[in-house]
Amino acid sequence: MKSFKGEFLCNKKILSITIPIILIIWSLFFIFVDLTPEVGQDFFFSKDSEIYKENKEVARKFPFDGNQILLGLPDKDITSEKYINRIKRISDALSGYKGIKRVVSMTHGPSDPEDVLDHPLWKRLVAANSKDVTFISIYLEDQNNSKTIKQIEDIINEYEKVNIPIKIAGIPYFREQMKRNLKRDMSTFLKIAIILCSIVILIVNRSFFLMILSVIVSLTAAACSLLVLSFLDQPVGILTANLMVIAYVLTQSHFIFYSSNFQNLKSTKKALIKTLPASFWSMATTLLGFAGLIFVEAKPLVQLGIGGTVATLSAFLICYLLLPSLLNFQKTKNKNNMNKFIEENSSLGNKKIWGSSFVILYVGATLILGLGGLSRLNTDPSLLSYFKKESEIYKQLSFLNDHGGSNILRVVLKRKNGKPLDDEKSYKELWNLQEKLKSHDKVGTVISLPVLLKEADTHWLGQFLTWNWILELLSTDMLGNIGKGFVSEDHSQTVLLLKMIESKDESKKRLTIIDELEKVVDTSSFKWLTSAGPYYLQGRLAESVKMSLITGVSLIVGIFFFVVFWISKSFLLSACISLCLSSIVIMTFGLMGVTGVPLDLISSPGISITLGITIDGFIHLIRAVKEEGGVDKIEAWKEGLNSQMTGLLTSSFTIIVGFSAFIFSSFLPSQRFGGIILLGALLSLPLVLCVIPTLYPISRLSGFSRT
């Protein structure tokens, strides 16, 4: 990097190359890139994950169609003829829709709708043991069911016009709502980010040309990122839906430091030589931070790891491929008002203003928030926490959650003595176990083998058949193979289907609740073999996200330690900055824990982006200080700060206003994602400008005042 001259990139003549590059990227973008977010049924884990394979094995051994939507129709009298006719009309209409495999309701399943509450199976499956609501289960054909869900919503809207409320829930509906929120936010966030970042660039540089240039370069880098991902066959996922904004802001950071140095040095070549090494190391550390996500089990984080790696490379390459030649058309000016203000008022070397008292205050705040908030941070939030309480979907989910549960947990059991489950003793033991599990406050409804057997026993033919014969009969095509979903072929294993209640208080994690249920099973004559279903997968996903955060943050801090050491040759400075990065993590998560803000899958990567942004400012500052005489010289810190102050402040403000776009989202995880980055940017600014310039010289030279 030291021998780099930059003559070729800074030559005006290469515009004949740069302009066609921009046009080609955008042409290919509009042709090949599909911006529709993909939120499939298996979005929890990658297909190579052991957790995913275990869940699939349970689904293969005990077939269960979980691709269903629930409609709840509350009424004071669910046995009235008027109510039953309404259920029949809706069920008949739904059965005729393309994309719907089958419909189960009190009129489509039970032999007599009026006797639903008297049947062991149907009162759980259709009425969820409730006397004021019944449910219509809609089984969908495939995963791409946006049109079908829209048709279902049209029916709901028609009945709501005549004051007949219908509640809707189910994992496919939840995924569709996530997809809609993400798709709507993608466009909104990018527009807001462009407008706000452009205003900052214009105010600082007082140049419409630089403002327009920043938009062109940053948007081209963002478009290039998604184009490359499209060629890599990587769809837009629940985390990469925000990738255009991430790529845009990352490019803005490179642009700001380069253009700031250009304004100071009045030469594109000198600015390039000064800025490129720091930008390269910033890019490298951010890239490695994203790349670390590729090896985790959570599929969305893997997608973000790939997408973030591509975005980081695109931001760096596009910026330095296009910007050096284009900046030749910007007239250099005298130092702007911000530069003058900084040089005239900067007292960053004055211990009286920025001294050890601030460092003590910062460290104290870190410890207080860390000790008080980290242990209270909720990393396994309820599905309800994804939506605002006043939103319609929250009300829908909450209603169904309170009437039998809204999330499915499947538990595979076998008898401890290994005997088959085909006699009356097994039936009674399972029934008793089911009732014990039902008493848990997070279990809404339980459907199990005893329920099926008791339902079969209500039929006159069931009185003359053995348990073994009934099990065989339930597993035939004539009865829809319903028995295969609850008992293995050799009758040695069985499945309990539990409809779990999503916690509103979020006091317990899903895996903790599952452990409590497992302890209940251990007190019986049955052995808990494995768990499956969305409820279990979400619990494991939360655990995976937590572990990936720990390893990811540790990786970023560790990499940055060696990068700073390589640049500065100072072990002490590297240690100080690594501690500062760690403090950002502690303060951010500690504050979330204290305020009760949960850390969900979508918002969790915000901390990695925050660290990448902070690293960018540190590296530019350290490079400047080193060029001014070395990190052990106080005057070098003063000069380095003065030369980089405009870039540091502008970059921080741009990040703050750019990611503030997420605050306008109606989707709470997106709000939290933006909030984490905003908080991190606000915390990082005093670290770069105050804490390190004070802490390191104090540690090294016993304070600035000695000079």
In this structure, of 128-132, 272-276, 337-341, 514-518, the range with the lowest mean pLDDT score is: 337-341
The band of 131, judged by pLDDT with boundaries at 50, 70 and 90, is confident
Please provide the CATH number assigned to the domain covering 28-39+176-337+351-382+539-706.
1.20.1640.10
pTM of the model: 0.79
Q: Mind listing the pLDDT tens digit for each residue in 192-238?
A: 888 888 888 888 778 888 899 999 999 999 999 999 999 998 888 77
Decide if pLDDT at 8 tops 70.
Answer: no
* Interval 291-311 mean pLDDT: 82
In this structure, of 46-50, 412-416, 516-520, the range with the lowest mean pLDDT score is: 46-50
Q: Which fold has domain 65-175?
A: Alpha-Beta Plaits (3.30.70)
Looking at residue 697, what is its pLDDT?
59
Domain ranges of the chain: 28-39+176-337+351-382+539-706, 65-175, 418-524
Q: Are 580 and 621 in contact (CB under 8 A)?
A: no
Looking at residue 400, what is its pLDDT?
75
Residue 546 is which amino acid?
K
Looking at residue 73, what is its pLDDT?
85
Q: Mind listing the pLDDT tens digit for each residue in 152-167?
A: 888 888 888 888 888 8
Decide if pLDDT at 89 tops 70.
Answer: yes
The band of 9, judged by pLDDT with boundaries at 50, 70 and 90, is low
* Interval 442-447 mean pLDDT: 85
In this structure, of 143-147, 293-297, 351-355, 377-381, the range with the lowest mean pLDDT score is: 351-355
Closest among 29, 18, 59, 23 to 42, alpha carbons compared:
59
Looking at residue 312, what is its pLDDT?
92
The band of 707, judged by pLDDT with boundaries at 50, 70 and 90, is very low
- Across 11-15, 245-249, 385-389, 396-400, which has the greatest mean pLDDT? 245-249
How many angstroms separate the Cα of 454 from the Cα of each of 3, 282, 419?
82, 66, 21
Looking at residue 315, what is its pLDDT?
93
The maximal CA–CA distance of the chain, rounded, in angstroms, is 100
3-class DSSP state for residue 552? helix
Percent of the chain with pLDDT over 70: 82
Closest among 699, 692, 701 to 348, alpha carbons compared:
692
Q: Are 612 and 289 in contact (CB under 8 A)?
A: yes
Q: Are 585 and 611 in contact (CB under 8 A)?
A: yes
Decide if pLDDT at 472 tops 50.
Answer: no
In this structure, of 2-11, 37-46, 93-102, 435-444, the range with the lowest mean pLDDT score is: 2-11
Phi, psi angles (nearest 5°) of residue 690: -130, -55
Looking at residue 183, what is its pLDDT?
81
What average pLDDT is seen over the chain?
78
Q: Mind listing the pLDDT tens digit for each residue in 672-705?
A: 888 888 888 888 877 777 767 766 655 554 443 3
Task: Report how far residue 540's alpha carbon sits from residue 533's, in angstroms, rounded to the nearest whole number.
Answer: 11
